[in-house]
């Protein structure tokens, strides 16, 4: 690294893309710092899956496949049920879980553990301003003292603070898909055995699936709505909105809404995608959901974030830290791949929460017949093709160098 410039890199976000990028930057000789608004790693969250050679090869090159395999969900099929809990249709596991499925909180912990010895983590703080100069970026923080870094990378999600500061307001880049979602941990009172139940009505879907060897469950809610102007930190108001949407909806909704009030990891957000003409602005660049969020309904977000982090760090190393060259090559390699993954999220919202009784009834009947139809595996094949549609260069880092 004696001839490499721009070695100090601030990464905003400690979920998936941020720690993954820190891992690869360190392996290439850079010095990463990760700042995260939350006071600690976020536990819980929904299940995320990886499918195809691109996703799995990045995890293998990181030496993390074994650790993640040990905490995989082993989730099987998903059954659509009626208000009495009777199964009406069953969808295969490959449509949901891919080749490897883990809880998002477990993935974040494994990535953090793989990077904490060589990465400076600053929890409970966030970026408030970015001032770019010819030789660096001056950064101010909500709590910490100002600092200068050579480069700043936004890995802070669909509503990226880094993107807002460097590129402009969220409304320019985030496209709402007409759906809101909520998820939280609850008791596995249905006794689900590595499977899930989903209950769909017009404009709404409630589901449960088992987690952590069936010792708990995840409750998931989706409902159709224009984007709501809610304070992201006001969980009580978000829970009130969810209760208004699902009270009297049938199935297990009333019990789950009661459990929601004491859940330790309640999460609520709108479902959207991020579309940008460029992912970099001089010394600031974006990765993962901050740059090209495909939506939580696509099943591609975490895998896309890992691949993006691998390519971005690799291109910075290949360009000896020349950010202009590296950022351009990163975007060139990733643009078509990211857009292909985003297509997997297009239209899914209307299928998840159909807007009419006719469409809801049609989907219920179609899912019932799906196991017997010639194209029953088509959706899974399309998802796998999108996930594998990139050739990953070997940037010269070996698995055994991880620690």
DSSP single-letter state for residue 170: G
Q: Looking at residues 307-316, what average pLDDT do you find?
A: 97
Q: At residue 74, does pLDDT exceed 90? A: no
More confident residue, 374 or 80: 80
pLDDT at residue 350 above 60? Answer: yes
| Any domain includes 36 | yes
Which of the two residues, 115 and 371, has the higher pLDDT score?
115
| Residue 281 within any structural domain of the chain | yes
DSSP letters spanning 309-367: HHHHHHHHHHTTT-HHHHHHHHHHHHHHHHHHHHHTTTTHHHHHS-SSHHHHHHHHHHH
The burial class, CB within 10 Å (0-12 / 13-18 / 19+), for 294 is buried
Closest by Cα among 19, 66, 61, 64 to 41:
19
Rounded-to-integer distance, Cα 99 and Cα 89, Å:
23
Judged by average pLDDT, the poorest of 34-48, 159-173, 247-261 is: 34-48
CATH of the domain at 37: 3.50.50.60
Is 2 a member of any domain? no
pLDDT above 70 (res 377):
no
In a domain, 104, yes or no: yes
pLDDT tens by residue, 118-141: 999 999 999 999 999 999 999 999
Q: Is residue 312 part of a domain?
A: yes
For residue 384, give its domain range.
8-351+380-394
Residue 12 in contact with residue 161, Cβ under 8 Å?
Answer: yes
Which residues of 14-76 form beta strands (DSSP E)?
31-36, 47-50
What value does the mean pLDDT of the chain take? 89
Q: Is the pLDDT of residue 13 over 60?
A: yes
Q: Is residue 357 part of a domain?
A: no
pLDDT at residue 127 in the model: 98
pLDDT, tens digit (0-9, with 9 covering 90-100), for 252-298:
999 999 999 999 999 999 999 999 999 999 999 999 999 999 988 88
What does the pLDDT average to over 99-106? Answer: 88
Find, among 283, 32, 328, 327, the residue nearest to 133 by Cα. Answer: 283
What is the predicted pLDDT for the residue at 399?
40
pLDDT at 35: 98
Is the CB of residue 307 less than 8 Å from the CB of residue 59? no
Whether 154 is in a domain gets the answer yes
Q: For residue 367, is it within any domain?
A: no
Q: For residue 403, is pLDDT > 50?
A: no
Residue 371's Cβ-side half-sphere holds a number of Cα atoms within 13 Å equal to: 11
Q: Give me the number of domains the chain comprises.
A: 1
Following DSSP, what letter does each residue of 175-236 receive, concatenated? EEEEEEEEEEEE--TT---S-EEEEEETTEEEEEEEETTTTEEEEEEEEE-SPP---TT-HH
pLDDT recorded at residue 369: 65
């Amino acid at each position: 690294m004696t001839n490499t410039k721009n070695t100090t890199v601030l990464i905003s976000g400690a979920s998936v893309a941020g720690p993954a990028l820190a891992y690869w930057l360190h392996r290439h000789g850079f010095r990463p710092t990760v700042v995260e608004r939350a006071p600690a790693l976020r536990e819980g969250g929904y299940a995320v899956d990886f499918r195809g050679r691109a996703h799995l090869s990045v995890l293998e090159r990181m030496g993390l496949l074994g650790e993640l395999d040990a905490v995989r969900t082993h989730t099987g099929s998903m059954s659509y049920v009626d208000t009495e809990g009777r199964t009406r249709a069953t969808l295969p596991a490959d449509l949901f879980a891919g080749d490897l499925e883990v809880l998002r909180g477990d993935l974040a912990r494994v990535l953090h553990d793989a990077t904490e010895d060589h990465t400076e983590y600053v929890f409970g703080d966030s970026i408030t301003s970015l001032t770019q100069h010819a030789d660096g970026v001056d950064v101010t923080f909500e709590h910490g003292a100002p600092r200068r870094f050579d480069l700043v990378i936004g890995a802070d999600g669909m509503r990226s603070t880094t993107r807002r500061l460097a590129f402009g307001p969220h409304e320019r880049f985030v496209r709402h898909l007409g759906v809101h979602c909520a998820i939280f941990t609850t008791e596995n009172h249905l006794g689900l055995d590595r499977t899930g139940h989903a209950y769909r009505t017009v404009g709404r879907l409630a589901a449960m699936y088992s987690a952590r060897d069936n010792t708990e469950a995840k409750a998931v809610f989706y409902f159709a709505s224009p984007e709501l102007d809610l304070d992201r930190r006001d969980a009580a108001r978000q829970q009130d909105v969810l209760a208004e949407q699902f009270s009297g909806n049938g199935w297990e909704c009333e019990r789950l809404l009661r459990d929601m009030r004491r859940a330790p990891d309640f999460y609520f957000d709108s479902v959207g995608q991020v579309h940008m003409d460029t992912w970099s602005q001089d010394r600031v660049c974006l990765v993962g959901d901050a740059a090209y969020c495909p939506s939580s309904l696509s099943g591609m977000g975490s895998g896309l974030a890992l691949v993006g982090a691998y390519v971005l760090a690799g291109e910075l190393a290949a360009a000896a830290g020349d950010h202009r060259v590296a950022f351009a090559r990163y975007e060139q390699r990733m643009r078509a791949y990211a857009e292909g993954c985003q297509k997997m999220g297009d239209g899914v919202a209307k299928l998840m929460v159909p807007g009419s009784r006719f469409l809801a009834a049609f989907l219920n009947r179609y899912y019932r017949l799906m196991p017997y139809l010639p194209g029953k595996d088509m959706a899974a094949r399309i998802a796998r093709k999108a996930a594998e549609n990139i050739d990953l260069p070997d940037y010269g880092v070996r698995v055994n160098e991880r620690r």
